[in-house]
Structure 1
Amino acid sequence: MIHKHIGFYAKHLKNDIPAGLVVFLVALPLCLGVALASGAPLFSGLIAGMVGGLVVAWASGSQLSVSGPAAGLTVIVFNAIESLGSFPGFLVAVVLAGFLQLVFGFLRAGIISAYFPSSVIKGMLAAIGLILIMKQLPHAIGYDASFEGDESYMQETASSTVQELLGALNLISPGATPVSVVALLILIVWESAFVKRIALLKMIPGALIAVIWGVVYNAVALLKAPDWAISSKHLVSLPVTDNPTAFLQLFTFPDFSFLNNPQVYTIAVTLAIIASLETLLSLEAVDKMDPLKRVAPTNRELKAQGIGNMLSGLIGGLPITAVIVRSAANVNAGGQSKVSSFVHGLLLLASVMFFARFLNHIPLSCLAAILLQTGYKLAKPKLFMEFFHKGWNQLIPFVATIAAILLTDLLKGIVVGILIGLYYVIRANHHAAISMTQSGNHYLLKLNKDVSFLNRALLRKFLGQIDENSMLIIDGSKTRFIDHDILETIEDFLQAAPDANIKVEAIDLKGKEKIKYSED
């Protein structure tokens, strides 16, 4: 079995290593941005990213999901650190939240993900794609007022994003704009059939070429045309360490004296519930994106996230969840197994230890181009057309989920989508449970499946359409369950039927016996 797994991972190294590099390039600024937005040390975001790649990837049952710090938790984290007045105290809550997630996993709470409709999951993906595009456009032209908001579909509304876009038009950077435009062109060309036919080019990720282009452009611009160069505030900013001792000093450890503070437990429960929901949503979405349609075990994922959060909290990291944007980047880059997530974790570790000063030359507009492409793939016009052709019962929950997420946040949008999806499920069941056909003065009323009290109004409507001096057959042979209210409605009709000279034959309604009701 072990040899089989090693063979599987080895076979896909040629896909997973380049994909891991792409995920690393996407994750790097997001780890820093989430930490900045959370009011935590920048390094805490990188720790969470490392733990997500190096530990959670192997503990998880998902081959493509990527874990790390989530922008959806930034407001909770910020408020928690502020209310506790201590980051080491907050780390205690992270450790406890991880322990609770581990308990959720053993209690098999992951089954809740099976109740998310497909239209809602795909609507969530499309909404995130649209938000990525809206949030990355300002950064693509050099307007980086809130880079930490790039993945923050949880807290930033569409209206604020539109305002940011309009403001960005007045502050276009002559350096960042050509970098992002050319980077985007490179990414588009790299997706073309021409490049895919060339074996050597196919092995090199387009994102890497886009990043190299940005670094080279800026280096040349600084020498030849400083006005067209990109300022340092629009470049990646990593903490630089010169030796292993300095690197170890970046870690923070929890202050367990905060176990006496009741607030810690409230924060831990909140983090555990929200992080688990985000993880399950992300996992469901990644399963939908997986070209091989593999299904990850949800309870194992909760356990993996629990282990990851306990470890992250113990060494100074932010809370971790499975994250859609990085997972989507992994799928789009051709990742095949969990090795790609592990490679991204290794690169995050190596970047901080050895290459921070070099990575600080990467323009953020390059990374914005990578995320713009990811956003487009999540919200392709083709996807909207597919749902249009599927019918209103699929299109409306899909569009409603997108609109609700854009106007509120991820969790509220998902709830709205599920409620609307549930309405269509009940509506479909309502009409499919009972059907009636007529031939002259003969009627056939069929109970097609389990019939509940929700179908009583429809049953009464059909029974009210039966004319006098006619024959009715009520066929319940296809049902396994008939609600008492339905049986009572039929009994009432049977008692009144002789007055209208209606002959009724009921099949398999009571104890699977055939009963005849007729007027002699």
Structure 2
Amino acid sequence: MNPIKTTQKSPQKRDSSTLVGDIRGGFVSFLVAVPLCLGIALASGAPLFSGIIAGLAGGLVVGLFSRSAVSISGPEAGLIVVVLAAIESLGSFPAFLLATCLAGLIQIGLGYLRAGIISNFFPSSVIKGMLAGIGLILIIKQIPHLVGYDADSAEEISLFQPEGFNIVSQFKMAIGQLNGVAILIAAVSLGILLLWERPFLKRIKWLQNMPAALVVVVLGISINELVGLLAPSSILKGNHLVQLPVADSLSGFFGLFTMPDFSQWHNPQVYISALSIALVASLEALLAIEATDQLDPQKRKTPTNTELKAQGIGNIVSGLIGGIPLTSVIVRSSVSINAGARTKRAALIHGLLLLVSAIALPTVLNRIPWAALASILLITGYKLAHARIFKQLLNEGIAKFIPFIATVAAILLTDLLTGIAVGMLVALFFILRENYRNAHRIQTFQEGGNERIRISMGDYVSFLSKASMVKLLTSIPNNAVVEIDCTNSSYIDSDVMNTIDNFKETAFQRNIQLIFLREPVEDRPPIPESISAMRSRHLREIEKIR
């Protein structure tokens, strides 16, 4: 008999087939990460270069220890408030670095305590709502950059703030400061990014492995430089371009790194700040990993406890060399995936390019217009918040759609963590609602001129079913025959048992005949011993009612 032939690729072939996509993904995420690392450091009240250091640690350190195939870590906007408060309360940046190192140790401890299981309790509708909300924010936040208003380069995840600078004021100021060169660069960039997805371009061989983002960046620089030659007064400069710190020597470059102040180890505020950073960074990492796993075309599942340990190691290294805290970042991960990344090599390439650029290419990177990078982020946001996602959730019913929409709306109106909390509360309401409805099934039929009602109890009947059971038993008419079928129940809560017991007391007065069905169905699969024992105990309690 001839052996069966398989078409499965060898690991070596799979590795080589994903290498080009990983290079594209790492390169594109690197382009996006540079200005965002700087913007988040600026918004956090930290030295600009500390954002680049966090990006390096996220790419090289977390990328090395993480078992996520496609996630990319680095500084994230959700940590801005925590970092800003910690730096202000501690009074010095080196003391804050010590808190960052301690936060990493706490995260490693959470990993060993298996706290990563928390991610399993987030409904898919809330995760999809988080992705769509971030996508809409990316789209809205990039519009000012597309028209040349680049005052806010931070990767914020909040649109409407009751006080201070927000997206509404951005739009008002952007309208009054339109820049023709930025609009031209944005129009060309968006055109290229949209055309790159068309089938006729994908059939051109020499274009297949070229990242569209690279073309966008090169053309953006070229257009701006050409404008500088033709009309020097109109060239984009200053905050219209990436602004990476430039060291004038090797010693100057190493001077950009900062060591923690270990003499602050006795300061209680250091430990309070460390705990705050660890909790927020860990929660955001778990949420980001759950969302990134859903974006992964191969739908691989990341071990969350290992991820917490990897994030902890990354934060220890970042704090030791002068970086702000890091976490898994959905925006950079999704940009990388969209560019073709399929393995963790993309994260390592992303980190390596950050290192090389910080040492050798700061002047080149500082020529990239924000309008070109904003175009890349806008297309990423469009893919995260595509209309088909809204349609898919709507088709799945209100129990999925309403938590999804609630998450999106709350993220747009507040911030990422608050939005997720709101989505979880709405999802919990629908879970309780379904539990209330499906704790039992009711069949009504006529037999011998009398109404016969069969109540089939569910598999797991918790105390949440008490209200629906009281309502049902109260509504049973006089002179009826009631069958309570517990043969499919592995657990019945004592509150529900007491409700049935109380009904039994009044049933005789209302001429209601109670029948309890106890024998299991013959063709039912075997039940584990522990569940069988549990069932027997509850059936004995029901027997007492009779």
Paired residues for 1:449-488 under 5 Å:
449-488=459-498
Distance 2:247 2:12 in 1: 35
1:119 matched residue in structure 2: 125
Distance in 2 separating the partners of 1:456 and 1:320:
46
User: Pick from 309, 313, 318: which aligns with 2:324?
Assistant: 318
Where does the alignment leave 5 or more consecutive residues of structure 2 unmatched?
A: 1-9, 519-534
User: Is the contact made by 1:157 and 1:406 (CA closer than 8 Å) also made in structure 2?
Assistant: no
What is the match of residue 375 of structure 1?
Answer: 381
Mapped pair 1:194 → 2:204 = no
SS of 1:500's equivalent in the other structure is coil
Give 1:219 deviation, angstroms: 0.8
Specify which of 247, 252, 256 is matched with residue 253 of structure 2: 247
Give the deviation of 1:146 after TM superposition. Answer: 1.3
1: CA distance between counterparts of 2:433 and 2:66? 37
Give how far 1:7 is off.
6.4
Q: What is the aligned counterpart of 2:516 among 503, 506, 510?
A: 506
Q: Aligned partners of 2:441, 2:161: CA distance in 1, in Å? A: 45
The offset of 1:375, in angstroms, is 0.7
Please list, as runs of the form range in 1=range in 2, the aligned pairs for 1:343-422 lying within 5 A after superposition: 343-422=349-428
Contact 2:70 2:341 in 1 (8 A): yes
* d(CA) in 2 for partners of 1:220, 1:155: 35
**Displacement, 1:53?**
0.7
CA contact (8 A) 1:24 1:344 kept: yes
Q: How does 1:32-431 map to 2 (within 5 A)?
A: 32-148=38-154, 151-153=155-157, 157=161, 160-431=166-437
Cα deviation per residue 1:358-400 (whole Å; 9 max; x = unaligned)? Answer: 1111101100000000111111111111111111111110011
Q: Is the contact made by 1:400 and 1:417 (CA closer than 8 Å) also made in structure 2?
A: yes
CA contact (8 A) 1:436 1:462 kept: no
Q: Deviations over 1:194-241 (max 9, x none)?
A: 222222212001111111110110111000123542123211111223
Give the TM-score taking structure 1 as reference length: 0.95
Q: Which residue identity is paired with 2:501?
A: E
Secondary structure at the counterpart of residue 194 of structure 2: helix
Counterpart amino acid of residue 122 in structure 1: K
- The Cα offsets for residues 159-218 of structure 1, whole Å up to 9 and x where unpaired, read as 931331232111111111110111011101111112222222120011111111101101
Shift, 1:324, TM fit? 0.9
| Deviation, structure 1 residue 281 | 0.6
Task: Name the CA shift for 1:7/1:241 in 2 (closer, same or farther; >3 Å).
Answer: farther
* 1:413-433 CA distance string (max 9 Å, x none): 111110110110111011101
Distance 1:457 1:106 in 2: 40
Instruction: Specify every segment of 5 or more residues in structure 1 that has no aligned partner in the other structure, as ranges.
Output: none
* Residues 436 and 95 (structure 1), Cα distance of their counterparts in 2 relative to 1, 3 Å cut: same
Query: For residues 493 and 84 of structure 2, what CA distance do their matches in structure 1 show?
Result: 51
Whole-angstrom CA distance in 2 between matches of 1:517 and 1:453:
19
- Classify the secondary structure of the residue corresponding to 1:147: coil
- Counterparts of 2:452 and 2:506 in 1: how far apart (Å)? 18
Give 1:355 deviation, angstroms.
Answer: 0.8
Q: How far off is 1:6 after superposition?
A: 6.8
Between stretches 193-202 and 500-509, larger displacement belongs to: 500-509
Give the whole-Å Cα distance in 1 for the aligned partners of 2:248 and 2:200: 44
How far 1:489 sits from its partner (Å)?
Answer: 1.4
1:299-327 residue CA offsets vs partner (Å, 9 max, x unmatched): 00000010000000000111010011101
Distance in 2, matches of 1:160 and 1:486, equals: 52
- Counterpart CA distance in 2 for 1:75 and 1:132 is 19
5 Å-filtered alignment, 1:1-16, equals: 8-16=14-22
Alpha-carbon distance in 1 for matches of 2:294, 2:223: 38
Q: Which moved more, 1:434-443 or 1:15-24?
A: 434-443
Write the distance in 2 (CA, Å) between the matches of 1:178 and 1:365. Answer: 9
Change beyond 3 A, Cα 1:495–1:25: same
C-alpha distance in structure 2 between counterparts of 1:88 and 1:447, whole Å: 62
Shift of 1:472: 1.2
Indicate if the aligned counterparts of 1:157 and 1:409 stay in contact, CA closer than 8 A: no
SS in 1 for 2:322: coil
Q: Note the alpha carbon deviations across 1:89-108, whole angstroms, 9 max, x for none.
A: 11100111011111111111
Q: What is the identity, as a one-letter code, of the residue corresponding to 1:301?
A: E
Report the secondary structure of 1:240's partner residue: coil
Distance 1:465 1:241 in 2: 80
> In the alignment, residue 361 of structure 1 is paired with which amino acid?
R
Alpha carbons 2:95, 2:262 under 8 Å: kept = yes
Q: Aligned pairs, how many?
A: 513
Please tell me whether the aligned partners of residues 505 and 516 of structure 1 are also in contact (alpha carbons under 8 angstroms). no
The Cα of 1:466 is off from its aligned counterpart by 2.2
Cα distance in 1 between the residues matched to 2:211 and 2:56:
21
The alignment yields a C-alpha RMSD, in angstroms, of: 1.9
1:442-483 deviation per Cα after TM superposition (whole angstroms, max 9, x unaligned): 111110221122212211222223222221110011111111
Q: In structure 2, how many angstroms separate the alpha carbons of the residues matched to 1:466 and 1:238?
A: 75
Once the two structures are TM-superposed, the CA of residue 30 in structure 1 deviates from its matched residue by 0.4
Residue aligning to 2:521: none
Shift of 1:83: 2.4
Counterpart-to-counterpart distance in 2, 1:456 and 1:106: 38
**1:489-517 C-alpha deviation (Å, 9 max, x unpaired):** 11222232222222211123864479699
Q: Name the SS for the 1:335 alignment partner.
A: coil
228-237 or 61-70, larger mean C-alpha shift: 228-237
Q: Which deviates further from its counterpart, 154-163 or 110-119?
A: 154-163
| Amino acid in the other structure paired with 2:332 | R
What amino acid sits opposite 1:409 in the alignment?
A: D
Contact 2:159 2:413 in 1 (8 A): no
Q: 1:30 aligns to what SS in structure 2? A: helix
AA at the equivalent of 1:124: M
Q: Closer, same or farther in 2 for the Cα pair 1:81/1:156, shift >3 Å?
A: farther
- Alignment CA distance shift 1:23-1:467 (3 Å): same
- 1:490 equivalent to 2:494? Answer no
* Range that drifts further, 446-455 or 297-306: 446-455
Distance 1:255 1:457 in 2: 58
